[in-house]
Amino acid sequence: MRRAVVLLLVLAAGAAQAFTADVTHVSDGDTVWVKRDGRAPFKLRLDGLDAPERCQAGGAAARDALAARLLHRRVAVRTRAHDDYGRAVGTLQLDGADVGAWLVSQGLAWNARFGRRAGPYAEEEQQARRAARGVFAQPAPEYPRDFRRRHGPCG
């Protein structure tokens, strides 16, 4: 059993990559397309956060703000895995700043919780809630996962 766990950790570490790329498209508030030099663009889901769905209140604002900040810009990418939809999952840095932290601090996304663990952007979300920024200005903002369960995917 221990040998299997060690093997999984080694394989997971091998899947992680760090590189620079250009943002070629912004699909929504937590998904972008990036292109490394000499390679085809690929879809990247931002890790550690969940932005409103495109058809959810705040979804268009999150997408537009992310596009204004990143589109056609060079970013540092660190991938760690692929999700159930085949997207790479990772983080982005623009000029040394964590894009996920910026999104959550602006109220454009929620910090992703993992069971009882707070998640990487818990402090940024609390600051955005206290300042009533973005989706947290709404009286009862609906977490995107709950929205997807109630309404299904956006068309």
Based on the number of CB atoms within 10 Å of its own CB, is 126 exposed (0-12), middle (13-18) or buried (19 or more)?
Answer: middle
- What are the domain boundaries of the chain? 14-151
Residue 124 a catalytic site member: no
Query: Per the residue annotation, which of 63, 69, 87, 125 is the catalytic one?
Result: 87
**CA–CA separation, 23 vs 13, rounded Å?**
25
**CA–CA separation, 55 vs 16, rounded Å?**
32
Residue 142 a catalytic site member: no
The pLDDT tens digits for 76-120 are: 999 999 999 899 999 999 999 999 999 999 999 999 988 889 999
CA dihedral 5, 6, 11, 12 (to 10 degrees): 70
The answer on pLDDT for 11 being more than 90 is: no
**CA–CA separation, 118 vs 111, rounded Å?**
8
Please give the structure tokens belonging to residue 41: 């663009």
Residue 54 a catalytic site member: no
From 58-62, 68-72, 116-120, 121-125, the region with the lowest mean pLDDT: 116-120
The pLDDT tens digits for 122-142 are: 999 999 999 999 999 999 999
The answer on pLDDT for 15 being more than 80 is: no
Q: Which residue has the tokens 């947290």?
A: 136
Please give the structure tokens belonging to residue 29: 């508030």
**CA–CA separation, 103 vs 85, rounded Å?**
22
Query: Per the residue annotation, which of 45, 69, 124, 125 is the catalytic one?
Result: 45
Cβ-defined contacts of 96-100 (< 8 Å, 24+)? 99/46, 99/66, 99/69, 99/70, 99/75, 100/46, 100/47, 100/48, 100/49
Please give the structure tokens belonging to residue 113: 């919780």
Closest-CA residue to 54 (of 72, 27, 88): 27
Q: Give the fold, CATH level 3, of 14-151.
A: OB fold (Dihydrolipoamide Acetyltransferase, E2P) (2.40.50)
